Every structure is written in structure tokens, then in C-alpha cells.
Amino acid sequence: MTGLKPEETKQIKGMTLRRDPAREDCFQVVHSDAEMQEWPGMTEISQRQRIHRHMNNETGAIEIAAQCLVDFPEAPWELRMHLARQCWDESRHVAALYQRLREIGGRKGEFPISCFEWCVTCSLDSLAARLALQNRTFEAGELDLLGQLPTKWREIGDERTAEVLESILSDEITHVRFANQWLKLMVREDRRLLLKIAMAVRFLTTVTAALAPQEGQLSPIGLPFEAPQNRITQVNVADRRQADFSDSEIDEYLRQSGFQSIMAASAEG
Amino acid sequence: MSLSVQQRAEFVATFRFIQVFLMETIARWVPQTPEMEVKVLFGRHIWELAQQADSLGKRVYELRAPLQFSLRPVESYVQVLEEFARTETTPQKISGFYDVILPGLAARYRNYLERTDHLLDEPTTRVVEKILNEFQKMIKESETLRKELPQLCLADKNWPAHLAKPEVSVPTIVAHRPSAAIA
């Protein structure tokens, strides 16, 4: 989707994506969720794997925001300031998660990692499209996840990890919010960006489908993959509102996620 | 004689150019650098550099230039920056930035403080003094990381001099313009 040089790209299952960012040798970098280890429940190994995965996702978020500063020097300064601030926030998240990982006996490279979000987002050639995917889609999805996770950690008596995740959530709201605000402005000024955004969303859908596990395929730890409809996280309506999603956008998202019944309940008050 | 308003604007706009250049350089390095802890360090300092550039960009407006105005330095200094931006290994990137480029820029900021009128140009001196304090903190953070992870230290102790030599050989970095070009 961009004018990337061949050496900056990789081919995975027929899709051309941006090549992975640099990682230390201790990490095994895989290309899709299907190749990741996902340990069920909240066992010790599952706890370490969850934090390890989150730490790498936050590392990817620093990289994406940083690359946007590099690739779009003509973007308005105020928007670049938001991206620079995001680099700092994501860096603090990585540091906090890495500290927590070591405290519970984990280490860098203990599990495979995937840089899927970088490979998809940084394949896009407009800042609007990247904000639409990284901040408004991936990070907004994280709002939903982080709305639930602290409770899970508290249930096993891990107050510290719950606190870390709650702090991350409040930062992520600001990242989604600035993207929402700037996207509205950018689209108001140039309606053609809507086409770029629509193409980006379609690109993500196509890549996700291409990299999805095949029917009957087992995960790397020998477990069947959970059906997509069972993986849907409860939508974090309150924080999506905080992040400047409009009520109609939240309604539309709930509809797409199969939460019509919640919408009806909420409409009933 | 102290600096005129236009000269101050030129200095501040030049400093802003350098700050933005450095922010973009370490931003480029984040995905290219394998070590996670270094990505974290650079990620933190991207924000420091951006805020410093922002303060300078607001101050330059008060000196009768456009808001967030940047002025490209003299070509010899741009060459130093570009050579630095091409640095490849992680220890060289860290040493080049924290041991050579930031201290070199700090010396230029201190030189500015010596030359400008501290009463008439107090808003700039406050911005610059704050940046100098933040530079010290940034350098200290890099030293702490290098103590924690000795593999990030340079094996070739002479390498910084290779970058420092051309840096100190540029006596002035401001490419003075006719007043119409800045206002």
C-alpha cells in the first residue's frame, strides 16, 4: 500500500507487509497470532505470557508512533507533539511491564512475539490511515481489553499488575482521543482521506483473514483455537466515550460486535 | 553588545531546527534498534526533545518570527548532524547522541546565554536553562542504562572523537538571513 522498497517489506501468505522492526536475538519473532503461545487461564505461565505479549505490543506502539514522526514531517506540529508524547507513554508502559515481568519470574524472549500491528499499520502511506488503524482500532480494542483485565489480576491477588494495567488504560484513552479528534479535523479538510481510511480498514480485514488459523489447526501449545465469536471482549463504552467516540460510533461498533442486546438494554435505561 | 531581537530569533529558530532534527533521528532509530531498553530510552527522549522544540518554537514567535519557525543551520553543521544520523550500531548511537551531540549543543546553548541580555531576553534564557537541565537528566539516564547493560558501551573508545572533531570545528551554527527572510 505504500512506496516501500522491497527490502522494507516481507511476504506472508500472499500479503505484502512492512518488514518487522528490529528485535534482540533472544526473541523469536513470528508473523501471526496463530503462531503465538496463548496459555489458558491465569496460571503462572499464563501470567508471564500475558505480560510478555503486552510488553511487546507496547514496544510496537512506541515504534509505530516514532515511525509516524519520521514518515510525516509535514504533519501539523500539534499532532506531532501528540505522537511524541505517545512515544513517551508507550515507553513507560514497556518499562512498567518489563519490571512486572521480572518480578513474577519472567524474562525477555520467554515466549514468541509478533509485530503484526507494526507490519500492517506501517504499510500504510497516510498518517490518517495509520491513526485510524493503530490508535482508533488497535488501541481502542485495548481499551476494551484493559477495561476487564485488572479484575482478572485482582482475582488472583495481584494488585500491582492490576494497577499497572489501569494506568496504561488511562494513557491509552488519550491516544485514542487525539486520533479521533485529529481524524475528524483531517477528514473535514480533505474528504478524500475517507477513502484512504476505508482502504486501510479493508487491508486490515484482508490481512487478518489471510493470517488466521485454518480450521482444525492447533495452537503452538497444542490447544484448539477459540472461535472468533467467543473471543469478543466486552465493549468498554465509558472509556470509548472518554476517548471521543460518538454515541453513534459506539452503537455501530456494538452492532458489529454482536452486542445488540446490550444496546437495547442501554436504550431502555 | 548583546544580541538584537532578530539575532535572537535566528538563534532560537536554529536551535529549534536542531531539536526537531534530533527528535526525528532518534525516532527513526527506535524501530531499527534491537535492544528493548534502548527503544524505551529513545522513546522517553523523543518527548523531551519535542517539548524543548515546542518551547523554542513558541519563544521564536515572541521574537517576531512565525510560530514554531525553524531555521536550517549553516551547511557544515547540517553535515555533522547528517553524519551523526547515519550512525549504525547501538553503542555508537548512544555515545554519539549522549556523549557528543547533546553536550556539543549544550555548549552552544551556554554560549548563547553568555551573549544575550539576561533581562531583555529573559524569556529565552529561561527556556534555554530548562533545556540544559533536561539535557543533563537525559545524559544521566543514558549513563544509568549503560551501567546496567555494559554491552551498550562502546568498545572503540576513540569513536566519539571521530564525531566530536567536526562538531567543535563549526564555530557558529546560525545561517544569518536578511530580516525579510525571518519575519
Nearest residue in B to A58, CA atom: B40
Confidence of residue A212 (pLDDT cuts 50, 70, 90): confident
pLDDT digits (tens, 9 = 90+) for A52-62: 999 999 999 99
pLDDT value for B8: 97
Q: What is the ipTM of this complex?
A: 0.95
Cβ neighbours of B50 in A, within 8 Å: 80-81, 84-85
Domain containing residue A151: CATH number = 1.20.1260.10
Is B50 within 8 Å of A81 when comparing Cβ atoms? yes
Is residue A96 a part of any domain in this protein?
Answer: yes
Q: Are residues A95 and A61 in the same domain?
A: yes
In this complex, which of B30, B48, B50 lies closest to A63 when CB atoms are compared? Answer: B30
Who contacts A153 (Cβ-Cβ below 8 Å, separation ≥6)? A42, A159, A161, A162, A165
The answer to whether residue A12 sits within a structural domain is no
Q: What is the mean pLDDT of residues A120-138?
A: 96
Considering only residues A255 and B32, tell me which one the structure prediction assigns the higher pLDDT. B32
**Which chain A residues contact residue B60 at CB under 8 A?**
none
- A165 with A266, same domain: the answer is no
Q: Which residues from A are below 8 Å from B when comparing CB atoms?
A: 21-25, 59, 62-63, 66-67, 69-70, 73, 77, 80-81, 84-85, 87-88, 90-92, 94-95, 98, 108, 118
Q: What pLDDT was estimated at residue A1? A: 55
Q: Let me know whether A121 and A190 are in one domain.
A: yes
| A265 belongs to a structural domain | yes
Residues of B in contact with A23 (CB under 8 A): 34, 36
Q: Extract the residue ranges of chain B whose pLDDT is less than 70.
A: 179-183
Residue A115 in this model has a pLDDT that exceeds 90: yes
A113 and A223 in one domain?
A: yes
User: pLDDT higher for A220 or A22?
Assistant: A22
Residues A161, A265: one domain? no
CB B11 within 8 A of CB B112: yes
Judge: domain B5-168, CATH 1.20.1260.10: yes
Domain count, chain A: 2
Residues A268 and A223 in one domain: no
Q: What mean pLDDT value characterizes chain A? A: 91
The reported pLDDT for the residue numbered A224 is 80
Which residue from B minimizes the CA distance to A91? B40
Domain ranges of chain B: 5-168
Give the pLDDT band of residue A232 (cuts 50, 70, 90): low
Q: Kindly state whether residue A1 falls inside one of the protein's structural domains.
A: no
Q: Are residues A109 and A227 in the same domain?
A: yes
Instruction: Look up the domain containing A259 and give its range.
Output: 241-269
Q: Are residues A155 and A227 both part of a single domain?
A: yes
Contact B32 A22 (CB under 8 A): yes
Residues ≥6 apart with Cβ < 8 Å to B72 = B14, B17, B78, B175
Local confidence band at A217 (pLDDT 50, 70, 90 cut-offs): confident
User: What does the alpha-carbon distance between residue A42 and residue A103 come to, in Å, rounded to a whole number?
Assistant: 16
Interface of B with A in 92-131 (CB under 8 A): none
pTM: 0.94
